[in-house]
Structure 1
Amino acid sequence: MIIDKTIDLVQNLLDDKKIPTPEISNAVLGLGYTGVELEFRGSNNEIGVAYTLPELFKNGSCTKINFAGVLTDRAVQELLNWGKNPLSLERIIGIATLNALSQFYIHNYRTQYTFLTEDLFHYFNLNEDTKVTFIGLIKPMIKKMAQTTKNIVIIEKNLEFSGEFKDFTLRRNINNLDQEELDTDILICTGTSLINNTLEHILEAFENKAKFKCFIGPSASMIPDILFEEGIDLVGGMKFENSAKTFKVLQEAGGTKFFKKYAQKYNIIKQS
C-alpha cells in the first residue's frame, strides 16, 4: 500500500540519519484536524497534520484513546508506524507524524524535488472545455476553477452538496461514474483518500482515464516519492511556520480555513 511504502521510506531515512530522530513536543487530536509537532535538535520544529475523520469519535465511551496524557512521551518511530494501522485515531496520528517528518526531509533536500514556481491554476492552463474531477468537496478550489470551466465532477461521500454546486456532476462514489464520466483532464484527490484507504482504488479506476493526477491538501504533506511511483503527477501540501498559533486553531476545532494563514502551500511536480 502507498501509505505503508511511504512510512517504510521515511523509516529508512531515519535509520540512515538523513532525518534526525526528533522528540515529540506536542500532539493534539482536534475535531477538525490532528496535529503532531516534532522538535529537531539544532533545527526548526516541524508540524504535520491529518484530517480527523468525524466517525472516529462516535464510540460511546468518554475516553476515545488509551494513551491520553503520555502521547508525547512515546518514540516518534512508534507513532509513525501507527499510520499502517486500520482506520482509527492511531492511524490519523501516524499520518500526521509522517507529514511532520516529511517536512524536514522535503525542505532540507529541496534539490531532489521539482517545486512548482507558478500559481497552480496558471499551471493547469484551464479553458472552458477542461474537465476536472474532484475526489472530495474542496470548495475554494472548485469555486475558483468554476470561473473558467463548468465541466466539473465532484465525488463526495459525506458532506452535503449546497445549491452552488447544482450545475456540476455530483456523485457519492466513484463506482457511480460511467466510463464517459471517468474520462477527465485533471483528477484532484485530497489527503483524506489516503487516510480512509481509498486512494489505490481511485488510482486504479482512473489509471487510463485521467490525464493529470493531483494529490493535495494539508493531509497530503508527505514525501511524494511513492505517490509518484504509483501514478500521481503533483503533490501539494503545507509547511507550517507558526506552531503556537497553528496548535491553538487545532485545539479549538479549526480547519484549513483558519490555519492556512500560518503555513506556506507548496506543490511538487513529478520529474519526467
Structure 2
Amino acid sequence: MVHGSNKHSILKETIGNIRRILGDRTINELCIERAVRGFRFNGVKLNNGFGGICYILKNSITKGGSCPDDAEIVPDSRKPKGMPVSVVLEEMFNGNFLKRTLGIAAINALSNTVWSLECSQEYEIVKNADAIDNIEIKDSDYVVLVGALPYRTLLKDRGKPFCVLELDPSTFEADELPFYVPAEKAPEKVPLADVLIITGSTLVNDTLEDLLELAKPTARIAMYGPTASMLPEAFFQRGVKIIGGFVVTKPDEFLNALGRDGSGHHLFGESHQKVVIKPK
C-alpha cells in the first residue's frame, strides 16, 4: 500500500497511467471538443468521442449563484473548446478549482478511452451497480461518510451509529443533523471508521490523500461519485476497495442535459451509467 499525503498524487499517478497506456502521441492529438458547465457539474467531450464529468464545489461558484465566465477557467481568456488535453492536464494543478474540475472531467474521459480498448486489467467494471451494495457493512461496524452522500437515509434506517463529515450543514434535513460532524473533525472521526465512504469531490479540494492516511489499515474504503470515475490503480494502492462511479455513455446527450439543468437532477439515463470498479 502506498503511503504519503502528497496532494495531487492520486491524480498525477492516474495521468501517468493513462499516458503509459495511450501513449504521449495519442494524448497530444486530443483536445476538448465540447465543454459544458452546469451549476454543479463540469462536463467535457473529447475529439475522440469520449466524455467525462466532475463535480463543482460550492466555493468555486460566485456569490450570486452562477459560475464565473470561461475566462476564469482557462488562462488568457481562452475558451475550453479546442484546448489540447495536454494543456488541460498541465494547468489543472495551478490552484484554480474550476481548472481542476475541467482537468478531472478530461481524466474521466481519457479513462473511458482506455476502457474502450478492453486491454487486460486487474480490476472489473460492473455496470448498473452501486458502491453501497458492493462493500461489506457488518452489524457492529462504525460507518463514516465524507460528504453529504445519498446513503444517509439507508444508514439512519440501519439504526447503528454513523457520522457524516461535511463542510455545509445546510445540506442536511432536520432529522439528519444529529449525524452531522464538521469536516475539520476528520482527524478524530476517520480513524474510528470500520467502513469509510468518501465523496469523489475530495479530489477537487485536495483532501483525499490526507483522509486516506487517517484511515486505519483494516478500514473498508469506498469512493463515490462521478468525480472519481477514473482508472482505479492509484486509489487501490492507497487502500480503497471500491469505486462507485458514473460513466458518460452518450456525451452529446449528456452535455445537452447538463446545459439544460446543471444541478444534475435529470442527468441519469441512457447518457449516463452507474458503475462499480473493484479488484478482480
Letter in 2 for 1:48: G
Match status 1:162 vs 2:166? no
* CA distance 1:98–1:119, change in 2 (3 Å): closer
- 32, 54, 72: which one pairs with 1:64? 72
Which segment is superposed worse, 152-161 or 125-134?
125-134
Percent identity at matched positions? 25
Over residues 179-227 of structure 1, what are the superposed CA-to-partner deviations in whole Å (9 max), with x where a residue is unaligned? 6x7322211111110110000110111143x520111211111111111
Write the distance in 1 (CA, Å) between the matches of 2:76 and 2:154.
42
Write the distance in 2 (CA, Å) between the matches of 1:244 and 1:74.
18
- Which runs of 5 or more structure 2 residues have no equivalent in the other structure? 1-8
Instruction: Give the secondary structure class of the aligned counterpart of 2:95.
Output: coil
How much does 1:32 deviate? 0.9
Match status 1:148 vs 2:158? yes
Instruction: Give the secondary structure class of the aligned counterpart of 1:133.
Output: strand
- 106, 119, 141: which one pairs with 1:97? 106
Instruction: Give the secondary structure class of the aligned counterpart of 1:233.
Output: strand
* CA distance 1:220–1:255, change in 2 (3 Å): farther
How much does 1:260 deviate? 2.1
**Number of residues paired by the alignment?**
263
Q: How does 1:206-221 map to 2 (within 5 A)?
A: 206-208=215-217, 211-221=219-229
- 232, 243, 246: which one pairs with 1:235? 243
Other-structure match for 1:26? 34
Over residues 99-155 of structure 1, what are the superposed CA-to-partner deviations in whole Å (9 max), with x where a residue is unaligned? 1101121343364122347764443344543322110001x3222333334322100
TM-score, length of structure 1 as denominator length: 0.83
Instruction: Give the secondary structure class of the aligned counterpart of 1:74.
Output: coil
| Aligned-CA RMSD value | 2.9
TM-score, length of structure 2 as denominator length: 0.81
How much does 1:72 deviate? 1.8
- 54, 61, 84: which one pairs with 1:50? 54
With CA pairs under 8 Å and 6+ residues apart, which has the higher RCO, 1 or 2? 2
- Which runs of 5 or more structure 1 residues have no equivalent in the other structure? none
How much does 1:235 deviate? 1.5
Write the distance in 2 (CA, Å) between the matches of 1:72 and 1:176.
38
